[in-house]
């Protein structure tokens, strides 16, 4: 077996390869990043790790008995942390399926791009460095609503619930007469500090409306107009005349990483539809008059929301706003109304980026004076001209 090279690098990579030219090319590409040891096949590689040689990552030519290696390390829990990158010409390999599951973290073509494989190796290097740094887990301070704002919410919401109770009862009866289904619509929302809670509304849609949303993407007001590429390869691979150099395995299928991220970027963050066919006849009136929002007074009284803040989002929308610049919106209270509602709501051409920027602006600037102005403007904007 080849002896390990004496290098300063603390990241140990085991390359299972028998071709001298491929070994040399690998060392030329990554020898400065990691300490490379080489074994000619799966049996020798298994013996290497069983003898106690530390290995942080294994890069394996799949022609050299990788199943022998995987079965061997699977027989002992001492090797549960072993991670393998497979080099294979078989695009049908599924890392999440047995016997690959748990050990194989990625599959690259044998004609891999050094840049792409280097990024993947660098990820594991940085992961190890972070773990060895033994940094304490970051525990953010809980985001608390100002005492004055919370006291105002409790007092006003309790008074309004008492005064509006006759209206709430009448609306509940009308909803039951208008269409089949429950009176209230309850949905999971993400509010202040990513706290998830149940938000209440009067039901304005037909029962099962959530299941129809996937087929209505073309009607989304926030959608961007993009041309979907018809090819399976990005421009770089097409020009080079090679197979995909940046394969990504998703839902048991291989896709181009570059094309995947391009499609994800083109997807709208928020969902809102014009002339939504899911809305009932009574629901259209309740929405345009904002009466459907009144049950959220219960959320305000409970402390899930405030009268003024950033709109609480469904989880599938909130998960798209976890980057540093956008996540700031969740530092503000979740609100029944807010800066976006009184400036852009119902206007054609509004982008999701504009809405995010307004949410972030409110999180930075909100105060009692700001909230008072927004509440006054909300009263003027209760009846919308557009059916959204």
Final residue in a domain of this structure, among 103, 133, 163: 133
In a domain, 311, yes or no: yes
In a domain, 372, yes or no: yes
Give tens-digit pLDDT for 253-288: 566 666 655 665 555 454 555 556 678 888 888 988
Q: Taking the complete model, does pTM exceed 0.95, yes or no?
A: no
CB 142 within 8 A of CB 193: yes
Q: What is the span of the domain harbouring residue 94?
A: 12-133
Please tell me the predicted confidence (pLDDT) of residue 296. Answer: 94
81 or 210, which is more confident?
81
Query: Is the confidence at residue 7, as pLDDT, over 80?
Result: no
CB 151 within 8 A of CB 255: no
Final residue in a domain of this structure, among 133, 167, 182: 133
Number of independent structural domains in the chain: 3
Give tens-digit pLDDT for 112-171: 989 989 999 999 998 888 877 765 555 556 677 889 999 999 999 999 999 999 999 999
- Percentages of the chain per state (helix, strand, coil), in multiples of 5: 45, 15, 40
Confidence of residue 208 (pLDDT cuts 50, 70, 90): low
Confidence of residue 244 (pLDDT cuts 50, 70, 90): low
In a domain, 190, yes or no: yes
89 Cβ contact list (under 8 Å, min separation 6): 62, 109, 110
In a domain, 6, yes or no: no
Query: Is the confidence at residue 388, as pLDDT, over 50?
Result: no
Same domain flag for 307 and 376: yes
Mean pLDDT of 73-96: 77
Mean pLDDT of 214-241: 53
From residue 69, alpha-carbon distances to 41, 48, 131, 259, 370 in Å are 9, 10, 26, 34, 64
Mean of per-residue pLDDT scores for the chain: 78
From residue 328, alpha-carbon distances to 144, 204, 228, 289 in Å are 14, 31, 32, 30
In a domain, 357, yes or no: yes
In a domain, 317, yes or no: yes
Confidence of residue 251 (pLDDT cuts 50, 70, 90): very low
Same domain flag for 313 and 197: yes
Same domain flag for 180 and 277: yes
Same domain flag for 128 and 211: no
Structure tokens at 212: 């129809």
Same domain flag for 19 and 102: yes
Same domain flag for 110 and 217: no
Nearest to 11 by CA among 32, 26, 38: 32
Same domain flag for 262 and 273: no
* Sequence-separated contacts (24+) of 287-291 with Cβ below 8 Å: 287/204, 288/383, 288/384, 288/387, 289/382, 289/383, 290/382, 291/167, 291/171, 291/202
Same domain flag for 289 and 375: yes
Structure tokens at 238: 């097409």
Distance CA 152, CA 368 (A): 10
In a domain, 315, yes or no: yes
In a domain, 90, yes or no: yes
Give tens-digit pLDDT for 10-55: 899 999 999 999 999 999 999 999 999 999 999 999 888 888 888 9
Final residue in a domain of this structure, among 79, 108, 133: 133
Please tell me the predicted confidence (pLDDT) of residue 181. Answer: 85
Please tell me the predicted confidence (pLDDT) of residue 210. Answer: 52
The CATH number assigned to the domain holding 16 equals: 3.40.50.2300
Structure tokens at 198: 């149940």
Distance CA 79, CA 55 (A): 10
Same domain flag for 128 and 27: yes
Please tell me the predicted confidence (pLDDT) of residue 326. Answer: 77
Same domain flag for 177 and 43: no
Same domain flag for 66 and 22: yes
Same domain flag for 94 and 35: yes
357 or 241, which is more confident?
357
Angle between helices 147-163 and 368-380 (to 10 degrees): 30
């Amino acid at each position: 077996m080849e002896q390990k090279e004496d290098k300063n690098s603390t990241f140990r990579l085991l390359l299972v390869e028998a071709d001298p030219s491929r070994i040399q090319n690998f060392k030329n590409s990554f020898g400065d990043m990691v300490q490379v040891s080489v074994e000619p096949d799966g049996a020798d590689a298994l013996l290497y790790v069983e003898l106690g040689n530390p290995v942080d990552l294994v890069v394996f030519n799949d022609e050299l008995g990788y199943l022998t290696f995987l079965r061997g390390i699977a027989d002992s829990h001492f090797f549960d942390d072993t991670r393998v990158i497979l080099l294979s010409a078989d695009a049908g390999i599924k890392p999440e399926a047995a016997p690959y599951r748990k050990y194989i973290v990625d599959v690259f073509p044998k004609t891999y791009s050094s840049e792409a494989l280097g990024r993947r190796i660098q990820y594991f290097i940085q992961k190890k460095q972070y773990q060895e740094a033994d940094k304490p887990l970051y525990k953010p301070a809980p985001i608390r609503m100002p005492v004055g704002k919370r006291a105002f919410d409790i007092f006003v919401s309790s008074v309004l619930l008492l005064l509006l109770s006759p209206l709430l009862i009448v609306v509940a009866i009308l909803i039951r007469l208008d269409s089949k289904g429950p009176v209230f619509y309850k949905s999971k929302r993400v509010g202040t500090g990513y706290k998830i809670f149940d938000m209440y509304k009067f039901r304005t849609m037909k029962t099962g409306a959530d299941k129809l949303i996937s087929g209505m993407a073309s009607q989304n007001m926030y959608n961007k107009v993009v041309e979907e590429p018809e090819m399976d390869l990005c421009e770089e691979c097409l020009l080079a005349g090679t197979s995909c150099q940046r394969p990504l395995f998703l839902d048991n299928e291989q896709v181009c990483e570059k094309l995947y991220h391009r499609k994800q970027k083109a997807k709208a963050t928020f969902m809102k539809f014009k002339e939504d066919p899911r809305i009932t006849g009574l629901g259209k009136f309740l929405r345009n008059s904002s009466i459907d929002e009144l049950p959220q007074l219960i959320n305000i009284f409970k402390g899930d929301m405030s009268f003024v803040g950033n709109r609480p989002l469904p989880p599938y929308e909130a998960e798209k706003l976890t980057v540093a610049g956008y996540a700031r919106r969740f530092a503000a209270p979740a609100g029944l109304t807010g800066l976006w509602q009184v400036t852009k709501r119902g206007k054609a051409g509004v982008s999701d980026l504009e809405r995010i920027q307004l949410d972030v602006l409110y999180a930075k600037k909100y105060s009692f004076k700001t909230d008072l102005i927004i509440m006054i403007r909300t009263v003027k904007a209760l009846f919308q001209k557009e059916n959204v």
